[in-house]
Amino acid sequence: MRKQNGESVLGRVVRIFEAFTPEESALTVSELSRRTGLHVATASRLVAELVSYGFLARDTDRRVRIGMRMWELATRASPSLSLRNAAMPFMEDVHDVVGHHVQLGVLDGDEVLFLERLTAPGAVVNYTRVAGRLPLHATSSGLVLLAHGPADLRGRVLGGPLQRYTPDTPATAARLRAVLAEVRRQGYVYCPGYVHPDALGVAAPVRDARGEVVAALAVIVPNKAGASSVVPVVRTAARSVSRALGAPDAPGRRREPGDPRDGRATAV
C-alpha cells in the first residue's frame, strides 16, 4: 500500500523505528513526528497500531519505546544468534580473566556492530554498547574486520575522512594501511589509546566453517604497562569460538601457551 507521495506505509513505519537511538530509547509522539517528518496525526495513528501488535510499547508517562514483540521476533530470526551462542561461554571465561570489557562485533555496512558486551563495575572507559556501532578504523574489532573484509570496503574507508579520536588514532591512509597489514600478519590487533587515552583494545578474528572471518572478539582494558598479557587470552578465545563454529585450524598456526585443543580461555 502506498500513499500519494509515493512512500509506502511500511516506509513510514521504518522511519518511526529508526527514530529511536541508544541514547534516546523512549520518545513522545510529537518527538517521533518531528524526527520522522510525519504529521502528528499520522505518527499517532501508526504508533497506536504498532502498540496494538506489541511492536511498540507505551510507558506510564505515554512515551513510546520499542516493544518486546519486536525484540522477540528479531532475536528469533537473527542470523547472529548462533554466533553469539557459540561465543558466550568463551567470552565469559575471558571476562573472568581480564575483569574489564569483552565484546563481540560483526561487520555491518561500513561500521562494526556489537552483538554482545560483558563488563564490570569500575571497568575502564568504553564507548561500546550492545546494538551500538563504531567506526572501523579506530576500534580494535573494526580493524580486524576491515583487515579481513573485501577490498572495496577498505578502499572506501581508506578514502576517508578518518575521524581522529586521540593522537594515537590511525587517522591517515598511510598509517591505517600499515595497521591493517600488521593485523593480517600477526593475527590480532593491539590498539593503545586509539579511541580514548585511558583504554586499550585487543581483538582477534572469529572464523566460520568456511574459514571466513565473521566476527571479532575483543577486550578493552586500561592502557598501561602489562596490558599485552591479554593478547594470548583473546587469541585463544577467538580460536575456540571459531572451532565451535566449525572452522578448521589454520595449518602451521602456533598455539598460545595453555591452548589445549578443547580448552577454554581460563586455561591461559
160: Cβ contacts below 8 Å, ≥ 6 apart: 173
pLDDT bracket for residue 5 (50, 70, 90): low
H helix or E strand, kind and range, residue 76: helix 68-77
Residue 195 CB coordination number (10 Å): 25
Q: Sketch out the chain's domains with CATH numbers.
A: 9-74 (1.10.10.10), 78-267 (3.30.450.40)
Residue whose C-alpha cell is 588514532: 169
Place of cell 567506526: 135
Using CA atoms, how far residue 255 sits from 3, 163, 236, 240, in Å, is 60, 35, 8, 11
* Residue 47 grid cell: 504508533
pLDDT at 73: 84
Instruction: Tell which wins on pLDDT, 200 or 264.
Output: 200
Give the mean pLDDT of the chain. Answer: 89
Band (125; pLDDT cuts 50, 70, 90):
very high
Spacing of C-alpha 250 from chain mean position: 25
Q: Determine the average pLDDT of the residues in 204-232.
A: 96
What pLDDT shows up at residue 23? 81
**What distance, in Å, lies between the first and last C-alpha atoms of the chain?**
58
Strand 189-192 versus strand 133-135 pairing type: unpaired
Structure confidence by residue, pLDDT tens digits, 64-73: 999 999 888 8
Name the strands in the sheet holding 213-222, side by side, starting at the edge strand that comes first in the sequence. 133-135, 111-118, 101-108, 213-222, 199-207, 189-192
Q: What's the rounded mean pLDDT across residues 212-230?
A: 96
- Burial code (b: 16+ CB inside 10 Å, e: under 16) for 28-45 equals ebeebbebbebeeebbbe
